[in-house]
Amino acid sequence: MAKGKKTVYFCQNCGHEETKWLGQCPACREWNTFVEEKITTAKTAAVKSQKEAQVLALSEVRTDDQVRLMTGLDELDRVLGGGIVPGSLVLVGGDPGIGKSTLLLQVCQRLSGDKQVLYVSGEESLAQIKLRANRMGTFSDNLKLLCETNLDTIRNIIENRRPDLVIIDSIQTMYNEEVSSAPGSVSQVRESTNVFMQLAKGLGVTIFIVGHVTKEGTVAGPRVLEHMVDTVLYFEGDRHASYRILRGVKNRFGSTNEIGVFEMRQNGLVEVENPSEYMLSGRPEHASGSVVACSLEGTRPLLIEIQALVCQTNFGMPRRTATGTDYNRVNLLMAVLEKRIGLHMSNCDAYVNIAGGIRMNEPAIDLGIVMALVSSYKNRPIDEKLLVFGEVGLSGEVRAVNMPEQRVAEARKLGFETCIIPEVSMHMVKDITGIKVIGVKNVSDAMNLI
């Protein structure tokens, strides 16, 4: 066997490999993403395999009905698609201090009662983990802790102990001796994830991997890391605020539209069973530019407060700001109001905000943004018991959205008395009683109602 070292360049964004440094990656077209790494190569003689690979027809493949493992956190189970699939590899990403380690330690607390759980930490000491665990309550002795970064040592312990669940915190600290680059590099992250993937599939062990994120909000390392795992979860929210949102970006065993809402407290993360009521808490009374809209995340309707402030500009070019929604979408809706309705907003500053810090891009909140802008422009408050939703087109028409009956039912449950929806969706909500539902064809009809 002949060994040698060579220098290669990896793209930190997509993992593309080149023999020399390039300013732009030819694969993902990103600039200044190549980093230099030295890898060890080995030339070995080709060995004829003694065992021929097994080829089966699709009808010959047997699937055993595997029972999902419930974590005890309903919000997490919803995002995972109904619980943990045995033998799956799950990647959890998020900003520093957002609560990734806290969430996974709470999963260990609930599962360690009747399951064997191994928590591998490469960043914190055993004493630091113990201090966090003391705030959460009591833990079973089935939870084992390991502070190690050597990948070979971790692999041997997992193969010998065969735990039901393994937590790796974090993947950027794992070190494979066969790779000569430093921990956290593209090569180390990719090779370490590959080892954990083989352990999960070969032994049937469920493995959760914590991943650091870059300043753009993506998991640090090549994007190939997200392709190797079964599920990718992102923890979102301002770490200075109390609530957190767990969102599924990729899920081979369920939907990627579901979200879980948590609230950070002294004893850990607490599930928010009714996020709509939580988002609307502290809403101002008799204030113009405030309206409640409904957005759908997976199968869960969320009621959110949209605030708008429109005032005369003091400069030659008006300023537009959007927080929590798409900036370009706000400009588009303001152009619709000026062209189709005749509201002269070209000389006005406009500030649009979704209260609570949550971010929504669903087209169903278009009508809510329009109503908030009109309310602030005319300085007329909207009824506090009014809910609106619908997509607004460039002609000023209000188009249909999916699942209007669930949105109206959520509004009725929270005490709203009137709901403005697209007229084409009226036939889908005719059986709902206890709330007044009004259908509108265009933005002008909605304006006349307020």
**Quick one: tokens of 218?**
């993506």
Average pLDDT, integer, range 239-256: 84
Start-to-end CA distance of the chain, whole Å, equals: 81
State yes or no: pLDDT of 221 exceeds 60: no
383 annotated ligand binder: no
Kindly state whether residue 192 falls inside one of the protein's structural domains: yes
Residue 79 and residue 133 in one domain? yes
Contact by Cβ (8 Å): 219, 234: no
Residue 206 and residue 352 in one domain? no
Residue 17 and residue 116 in one domain? no
State yes or no: pLDDT of 135 exceeds 70: yes
Residue 295: the pLDDT is 92
Kindly state whether residue 63 falls inside one of the protein's structural domains: no
Residue 277: the pLDDT is 82
* Least confident span in 42-56, 97-111, 127-141: 42-56
Mean predicted lDDT score pLDDT of the chain: 87
Residue 47: the pLDDT is 42
**Number of independent structural domains in the chain:** 3
Residue 215: the pLDDT is 57
Residue 107 and residue 188 in one domain? yes
88 annotated ligand binder: no
**What's at 279, amino acid-wise?**
M
Average pLDDT, integer, range 111-117: 92
94 annotated ligand binder: yes
Contact by Cβ (8 Å): 280, 292: yes
Residue 111: the pLDDT is 93
Mind listing the pLDDT tens digit for each residue in 383-411? Answer: 999 999 999 999 999 999 999 999 999 99
Q: Domain end: 216, 238, 273, which one?
A: 273
Kindly state whether residue 374 falls inside one of the protein's structural domains: yes
* Alpha-carbon span 276 to 64, nearest angstrom: 39
Kindly state whether residue 59 falls inside one of the protein's structural domains: no
3-state DSSP: the chain helix, strand, coil percent, rounded to 5? 30, 30, 40
> Sorting pLDDT into bands at 50, 70 and 90, what band is 64?
low
**Quick one: tokens of 56?**
């089966």
Residue 217: the pLDDT is 55
**CA distances in angstroms from 159 to 99, 105, 143, 199, 230, listed in the order given:** 29, 22, 17, 8, 21
Contact by Cβ (8 Å): 281, 414: no
Q: Domain end: 239, 273, 307, which one?
A: 273
304 annotated ligand binder: no
Mind listing the pLDDT tens digit for each residue in 326-339? Answer: 999 999 999 999 99
Q: Which positions ≥6 away from 245 have C-beta within 8 Å? A: 235, 236, 237, 259, 260, 261, 262, 358
Kindly state whether residue 50 falls inside one of the protein's structural domains: no
97 annotated ligand binder: yes
Average pLDDT, integer, range 191-217: 86
Contact by Cβ (8 Å): 132, 105: yes
Residue 166 and residue 304 in one domain? no
- Nearest by Cα to 350 from 323, 381, 383: 323
Indicate which CATH number applies to the domain containing 110.
3.40.50.300
Residue 109: the pLDDT is 94
Q: CA angle 259-264-265, nearest 5°? A: 145
* Alpha-carbon span 426 to 193, nearest angstrom: 50
Kindly state whether residue 25 falls inside one of the protein's structural domains: yes
Its pTM stands at 0.76
Range of the domain at 294: 282-449
Collapsed DSSP state (helix, strand, coil) of residue 379: coil
Q: Cis omega before residue 59 (within 30°)?
A: no
Phi and psi based region of residue 139 (left: phi greater than 0; alpha: psi -120 to 50; beta: remaining): beta
- Nearest by Cα to 168 from 110, 120, 133: 120
* Least confident span in 84-88, 218-222, 309-313: 218-222
Indicate which CATH number applies to the domain containing 399.
3.30.230.10
**Quick one: tokens of 417?**
């008395």
Percent with pLDDT over 90 in the chain: 54
Residue 134 and residue 108 in one domain? yes
Residue 232 and residue 83 in one domain? yes
65 annotated ligand binder: no
Residue 359 and residue 445 in one domain? yes
* Alpha-carbon span 319 to 317, nearest angstrom: 7
Mind listing the pLDDT tens digit for each residue in 14-33? Answer: 778 888 899 998 888 888 88
Residue 346 and residue 296 in one domain? yes
Residue 263 and residue 316 in one domain? no
The label of the residue with tokens 């605020």 reads 241
Contact by Cβ (8 Å): 347, 385: no
Residue 128 and residue 145 in one domain? yes
95 annotated ligand binder: yes
Radius of gyration of the chain (CA): 26
Kindly state whether residue 53 falls inside one of the protein's structural domains: no
Residue 200: the pLDDT is 94
State yes or no: pLDDT of 3 exceeds 70: no
Kindly state whether residue 77 falls inside one of the protein's structural domains: yes
375 annotated ligand binder: no
Q: Domain end: 273, 291, 310, which one?
A: 273
Residue 143 and residue 17 in one domain? no
Phi and psi based region of residue 142 (left: phi greater than 0; alpha: psi -120 to 50; beta: remaining): alpha
State yes or no: pLDDT of 222 exceeds 60: no
Average pLDDT, integer, range 288-314: 91
Average pLDDT, integer, range 264-268: 87
Q: CA angle 391-395-397, nearest 5°? A: 40
